[in-house]
Amino acid sequence: MTSVPVHSRPLVIAHRGASGYRPEHTRAAYELAIALGADAIEPDVVPTRDGVLVLRHENEISATTDVAERPEFAERRTTKTIDGKKLTGWFTEDFTWAEIATLRSRERVPKVRPDNATFNGFYGVLRLRDLLEIIDAAPRRVGLVLEIKHATYFASIGLPLDRLVAEELRAAGWAEDDRLTIEAFELDVLHGIRREGVVAPLVYLLEASGAPADREARDGRHARPYADDLTPEGLLALRDAGIAGISVDKRLLLQTDAAGNTLGITSVVDRAHAAGLTAFCWTLRAENHFLGRNLRRGADASRYGDWLGEFHLVMASGIDGVFADQPDLAFAARARL
């Protein structure tokens, strides 16, 4: 089993690039993350109709591109059910790469990040191969933590992401690169990536509630929830199945009260380490909107709250890596350990 290296201080992984400062998944966000010293970069990949892997948080792209303003694509607006959720908008799988390449990126949460929204329209949409080139050209070693999104759904429409991702990585010389880690919310696609010959640590993403889409597709309402994977038995089963680590929603790591105040940390990191797994968490963000009630400063959702209090608490848990929208602030917190 390939394992994620354990560091004395947690890795700082730039979440969709330096997405606290530039619209996520843009060239500017990735290049700024590298300039700020990020240990690794985390993109999300989804496919186009012709099987090109593009970097977007979701396959529904009305919040992160200008597609809704393009009259030539108006008729492509549709409603779909993705992993049990009904969504209306425009979806990458209904476009060719040539069409996606005409779109411009925009800030996903403009009310929380109005400064980022000033960059709307500056940048296009990138492919996975574009980011691999950016990292290869970096002046220092930068890791890649590649997240595969909605694999069961895409397999159902003839776009198997395990094969598509493996082919792209092989073509770029990354299939056995020790800078690479692969993560997903579904175990099936992680095992598929391994069968495709990609040699990289596999990290299982866990939500704070619900069940993974691959289990729901097989077992319906009887699907085992994510919570089962966090029991001692569940964690050992992940390890024995070749999973190197887990990455949890920070709500699984932080103890809170009924009012939403952050009080402390849970035992999830210790449990993962006891099972021989590394542990990561997502996502550290500095704005009030994303912090516990007692860590907010003022009523403005976009204002920075006591981010240092939360970041330090998370890092002091013994976590092996954190995903952060503002990687420079994560480094500041790490320096306090």
Q: The domain spanning residue 295 has which CATH number?
A: 3.20.20.190
pLDDT at 162 over 50: yes
Q: What is the pLDDT of residues 143-155, one digit of tens each?
A: 999 999 999 999 9
96: which DSSP letter? -
Contact criterion met (CB below 8 Å) for 206 and 158 = no
Domain assignment present for residue 187? The answer is yes
Q: Which band of pLDDT confidence, cut at 50, 70 and 90, is reported for residue 9?
A: confident
Domain assignment present for residue 72? The answer is no
Domain assignment present for residue 98? The answer is no
Q: What is the mean pLDDT of the chain?
A: 96
pLDDT at 271 over 60: yes
CA angle 122, 125, 130 (to 5 degrees): 115
Domain assignment present for residue 306? The answer is yes
- Helix ranges (H only) for the chain are 27-35, 97-100, 114-117, 128-136, 151-156, 161-171, 187-195, 213-219, 226-229, 232-240, 268-274, 307-315, 327-335
pLDDT at 8 over 80: no
Q: Which band of pLDDT confidence, cut at 50, 70 and 90, is reported for residue 230?
A: very high
| Residue type for position 175 | A
Query: Residue 236's CB: how many other CB atoms inside 10 A?
Result: 14
For residue 255, give every residue at least 6 positions away whose Cβ sits within 8 Å of its Cβ, in sequence order, or none.
262, 263, 264, 265, 266
pLDDT at 45: 98
Domain assignment present for residue 328? The answer is yes
Rounded to whole angstroms, what are the CA distances from 252 to 16, 141, 191, 228? 21, 31, 24, 13
Q: What integer is the mean pLDDT of 304-311?
A: 98
Q: Which band of pLDDT confidence, cut at 50, 70 and 90, is reported for residue 326?
A: very high
CA dihedral over 154, 159, 163, 164, signed as positive or negative:
negative
Percentage of the chain exceeding pLDDT 70: 98
CA angle 20, 24, 25 (to 5 degrees): 140
Closest CA to 206 of 287, 309, 277: 277
Domain assignment present for residue 51? The answer is yes
**Distance linking the first and last C-alpha atoms of the chain:** 30
| Residue type for position 107 | E
pLDDT at 2 over 80: no
Domain assignment present for residue 268? The answer is yes
Query: Residue 80's CB: how many other CB atoms inside 10 A?
Result: 16
Rounded to whole angstroms, what are the CA distances from 284 to 12, 70, 110, 291, 308? 10, 34, 18, 9, 10
Q: What integer is the mean pLDDT of 126-149?
A: 98
Say which residue the tokens 């691959």 belong to.
214
Structurally, the chain folds into a number of domains equal to 1
pLDDT at 171: 97
Structural domain span for residue 256: 11-59+127-335
Rounded to whole angstroms, what are the CA distances from 15 to 21, 25, 311? 11, 9, 14
Q: What integer is the mean pLDDT of 21-28?
A: 98
Phi, psi of 106 (to 5 degrees): -145, 165
pLDDT at 3 over 60: no
Domain assignment present for residue 36? The answer is yes
pLDDT at 106 over 60: yes
pLDDT at 140: 96
Q: What integer is the mean pLDDT of 37-49?
A: 98
Residue 203 CA to residue 321 CA, distance in Å, equals: 12
pLDDT at 6 over 50: no
Between 6 and 206, where is the model more confident?
206
Rounded to whole angstroms, what are the CA distances from 142 to 126, 132, 176, 177? 18, 10, 15, 12
Q: What is the pLDDT of residues 48-78, one digit of tens each?
A: 999 999 999 999 999 999 999 999 999 999 9
pLDDT at 7: 43
Q: Quote the tokens at residue 36.
A: 């700020």
pLDDT at 15 over 60: yes
